[in-house]
Amino acid sequence: MKVRPARNEALLCNRNMKNKKLTYFLIFIVAGLWGLIIYKIVTAVGTKDDDDTSQPVKIIKEAFNDYSIPKDTTHLLLNYRDPFGVEKREDTVTKMSIMAIHNKPILTVVPKQPINWTFITYLGYIRNPASKKLVALVSINGQNLTMAEGDSRNQVKLLRNLKDSIKISYNGKTKFILMKSTIQ
């Protein structure tokens, strides 16, 4: 059995030296931080204005009285026009402009007849398994048709196909038509 005491002691001594250096370094850092903290506290507390010898002004407050009438501090400006029109003013409309209005030809506006949408009925939809698109089942004037989005039949164009309704265009007007219920 061979024991090498010299080498083990050298390693222990080297480790102790490293630990001592680290310990002294850490003690120095902690002492510096505490010194900085104490310095900040002393300078914050110690700075008082010795030049200002005036006493704080004491404000005497009155007791609150709900029944007292406060002093009126507002002033009325009476430079606005009379709201009741006591003064007579001239009309701004002249007789010439009245004559010009009466001499213009009257245009007759013919009201457009509202579209009766009852000739179109949305019966339901079928989903195309290949393209995953909806095909609408629509009844136009009693004629059952299948229409996809963008198709036109009998001046009726299918703009949008939803599951519960369709958006159609007829004579420049658009409307959503709900699915006809089978339960009656």
pLDDT tens readout for residues 10-39: 555 666 667 888 899 999 999 999 999 999
Domain count, the chain: 2
What is the per-residue pLDDT for 13?
60
Selected residue with higher pLDDT from 157 and 9: 157
**Residue 140: both structure tokens together:** 């136009």
Interval 118-131 mean pLDDT: 86
pTM for this predicted structure: 0.39
What is the per-residue pLDDT for 60?
78
Q: Give domain status of residue 82, yes or no.
A: no
Q: Give domain status of residue 112, yes or no.
A: no
Q: What is the CATH number of the domain that holds 169?
A: 2.30.30.830
Q: In angstroms, what is the C-alpha Rg of the chain?
A: 49
Q: Give domain status of residue 148, yes or no.
A: yes
Which pLDDT tens digit goes with each residue over 165-176?
Answer: 899 998 888 989
Q: Give domain status of residue 123, yes or no.
A: yes
What is the per-residue pLDDT for 76?
80
What is the per-residue pLDDT for 33?
96
What is the per-residue pLDDT for 179?
84
Q: Name the residue range of residue 16's domain.
A: 7-42
**In whole angstroms, what is the distance from residue 24 CA to residue 30 CA?**
10
CB-based contact 166:138 (threshold 8 Å): yes
Q: Give domain status of residue 159, yes or no.
A: yes
183 contact partners, CB below 8 Å, separation of at least 6: none
How far is residue 20 from each of residues 7, 8, 25, 130, measured CA to CA in Å? Answer: 20, 18, 8, 81
Instruction: Give the residue ranges of DSSP H helices in the chain.
Output: 5-46, 95-102
What is the per-residue pLDDT for 91?
56
Q: Give domain status of residue 156, yes or no.
A: yes
Interval 75-90 mean pLDDT: 73
Selected residue with higher pLDDT from 149 and 14: 149
Q: Give domain status of residue 146, yes or no.
A: yes
Residue percentage of the chain with pLDDT more than 70: 72
Q: Give domain status of residue 94, yes or no.
A: no
**In whole angstroms, what is the distance from residue 157 CA to residue 150 CA?**
6
